[in-house]
Amino acid sequence: MPGIISGDLILAVAMTEPSAGSDLAGMRTSAVDQGDHYLLNGSKVFISNGLLADVVIVAAKTDPANKHAMGLFLVERGMEGFERGKNLEKLGMKSQDTAELFFNNVKVPKANLLGDAKGGFFYLMNMLAQERLTNACGAVAAAEAALQVTIDYVRERKAFDRPISHFQNTRFKLAEMRTQIDVAQVFVDRCVQDHNQKKLTPEVAAEAKLFTTELLCKVVDEGVQLHGGWGYMWEYPICKMYANARIQRIFAGTSEIMKEIISRGMKL
């Protein structure tokens, strides 16, 4: 932990597998107790920091009879049987590496098990609310940035002898974005306060992720539209913002899974 916190060690968290993403309990990676160590076998995909990571927290099944029994294992750089695939080509977030990881009879010492060997699912679910709040904070900030670059652009760009900011459609679109981002910011601020007081529920964290990431994608889409063809060019920041935003509705739980979590809490 000290090395991770100081930034000397890079960390990755590996849950997703080629055939199990939203349905985490469907994962196949297994860890078998061999007395003084666990034997880890399986593969993971779409792992952020997968290539750069010095330490990977790997979720693996520990009891074939119980699909929710999984442990979290610290797999370290250089452990025999631990291999990495290539950097996966993505639509956006080009500077972040995303990789496939392979575990072939990796001997993981018992000391590298985090907490209880069957409690990993609970640990992950418990902390995902915090991760989703982080996504929400990032989404509101990114939406604000996208709005600002769009405002700058429409002030400069002229069509029909006037700045495009003078068209009612432009002003109304920007006014809608301004309002929705302000509303989202207030909600996220409240969620941060709740989180600091340990009161943030998984349902409300899911609401925050759902609302803000959907809003971000709407804002970047409108931003590209107001940039016209220039918005489709990489040299304009709104283009990168558009490409980077799309994953926000998918990772850390898709928008559909957020709706599942929220509706479960409504006791329908």
Nearer to ligand FAD, 16 or 165 (CB): 16
260 is a site residue for ligand FAD (CB under 6 A): yes
Per CB under 6 A, which region of 42-50, 74-82, 101-109, 221-229 contacts ligand FAD?
A: 42-50
260 is catalytic: no
Among candidate residues 83, 89, 131, 176, the one labeled active-site is 131
User: Contacts with ligand FAD in 56-115 (CB under 6 A)?
Assistant: 90, 93, 98
14 is a site residue for ligand FAD (CB under 6 A): yes
Query: What string of DSSP letters covers the chain?
Result: -HHHHHTSS-EEEE--BTTBSS-GGG---EEEE-SSEEEEEEEEEEEETTTT-SEEEEEEE--TT-TT-EEEEEEETT-TTEEEEEEPP-SS-TTS-EEEEEEEEEEEEGGGEES-TTBHHHHHHHHHHHHHHHHHHHHHHHHHHHHHHHHHHHHH-EETTEEGGGSHHHHHHHHHHHHHHHHHHHHHHHHHHHHHTT---HHHHHHHHHHHHHHHHHHHHHHHHHHGGGGGSTTSHHHHHHHHHGGGGTTTS-HHHHHHHHHHTTT-
Nearer to ligand FAD, 141 or 243 (CB): 243
Per CB under 6 A, which region of 45-53, 69-77, 104-112, 183-191 contacts ligand FAD?
A: 45-53
CA neighbor of 223 nearest in space, from 174, 164, 159, 169: 174
User: Contacts with ligand FAD in 230-249 (CB under 6 A)?
Assistant: 247
Cβ at position 66, least distance to ligand FAD in Å: 21
Nearer to ligand FAD, 237 or 253 (CB): 253
Cβ at position 61, least distance to ligand FAD in Å: 15
Query: Which position among 30, 42, 46, 132 is part of the footprint of ligand FAD (CB under 6 A)?
Result: 46
Cβ at position 148, least distance to ligand FAD in Å: 25
Active site residues: 131
- Residues near ligand FAD (CB under 6 A): 12-16, 21-22, 46-48, 90, 93, 98, 247, 250-251, 253-254, 256-257, 260
